[in-house]
Amino acid sequence: MKKDPNPSVGVAPADAPAAVPRRRFGRTGLRLPVLSAGFMRAMQSWQDVADEQIDPNSQRTMLAVAREALRLGIDHFETARGYGSSERQLGRVLEQVGRDRVILQTKVQPCADPEQFSAEVRDSLARLRVARVDLLALHGLNDHRALWHACRPGGCLAAARRLQARGLVGWVGFSGHGPTEVLLDAVRHRGDGGFDYVNLHWYAIFQRHTAVLEQAAARDLGVFIISPTDKGGLLHRPPPLLRELSAPLSPMQFNDLVCLLRPEVTTISVGASRPSDFHEHHAALAHLDQPDLVAAIDHRWRAAMHAATGQHRPDDHWPAWPSFADLPGYINVAFIFWLENLVRGWDLGEYARARYALLGRENAWVPGNNAAHAGDWDWAESAGAVGMTAAELVGRLRRAHDLLRSR
């Protein structure tokens, strides 16, 4: 039998686990643990449920997740108004573990009506059974429409600052899942005091937002990395290739360390569905003082990607491509070629196909169309701009579609 390249991965921490390091969360001054507890995956349902409909087993699981997080020193708890039953269940948990033991964050989407936004925040407080949240993020600034709802004069950011003045909110940030340009505009916004922190995607597999990290640090915004295990490649179910390339770490641990070795990053989210989900992440922290090990693993990852695709990173091509909104058929070429590279270079087929399936749904979180109808459009100008013929580009898009479509 082949030897496990990651023999110590996932070992439960001792009864007295090593302390989780803490970092300053930008201008908020809060000292957050470098691992944060996300309460989306431990919830009962993506649909909100009444209190009396909460399943006791689901509630016990969330309580166990919270208690294990606190045992490990992870006291930053994060949820969102849009996470089904999560806020309601977490409210019960906070009454049991003690609200004063937790740095609490929730997120609420901005909308055209700031009063409606404020009402949603107050509803979140009621569901959480608290008088105040320490951190409130305007959720999903994914395009300029959402950014306008947030940042226009008298918009939702101004409403959040009024809630802050009333003592209902500690600090105000935003989460973003969209283009780098939108995130940079949000980071640089100065009206109503600007934002105090940012939640964003940045991982070993996706580093398009490096400029956002740098600008956030320059403006003293705290940086929270969203769901590095799930959105960073479904690394709780890694392919054998990445397990081999990451040894003696697991791919999940390598990705954690890639994020945490960026000086701009304060904390990364651990979306635990059971208490043991924290253990592999906690074990990774023992290697925070080994940047040479992480660099060596990163070299192996990049070498494998280059051998398969000619790129050292799967998103190296991205700057060459315009936004999907400026391309024929709204086809999100840069995103599609990134997913294709993830499959060819690192065997991340499950992740890439799941993300590809989200295209074409008129969703600002994963915008644009897939390549199913690439041949129906005139690509001469777009292809010429990147040194390809239209036939070459359509051919690659068709091959990518065949590779990425659901099977």
Can you say how many angstroms the Cα of residue 167 is from the centroid of all Cα atoms in its chain?
28
Question: With bands split at pLDDT 50, 70 and 90, how would you rate the model's confidence at 365?
Answer: confident
Question: With bands split at pLDDT 50, 70 and 90, how would you rate the model's confidence at 362?
Answer: confident
pLDDT in tens, 168-185: 999 999 999 999 999 999
Average pLDDT of every residue of the chain: 95
Distance (Å, rounded) from C-alpha 297 to C-alpha 301? 6
Residue type, 288: L
Question: With bands split at pLDDT 50, 70 and 90, how would you rate the model's confidence at 1?
Answer: very low
Write a three-state SS string for 208-257.
CCHHHHHHHHHCCEEEEECCCCCCCCCCCCCCHHHHHHHCCCCHHHHHHH
% of residues, the chain, pLDDT over 90: 92
CATH 3.30.420.40 correct for 22-289: no
Q: Where along the chain do its domains lie? A: 22-289, 314-404
SS3 call for 184: helix
Buried b / exposed e along 20-59 (16+ C-beta atoms within 10 A): bebbebbbbebebbbbbbbbbbbbbeeebbeeeebeeebb
| pTM for this predicted structure | 0.93
Is residue 107 within 8 Å of residue 82, measured between CB atoms? yes
pLDDT in tens, 61-78: 999 999 999 999 999 999
Is residue 70 within 8 Å of residue 17, measured between CB atoms? no
- Written as six digits, the tokens of 271 are 């979306």
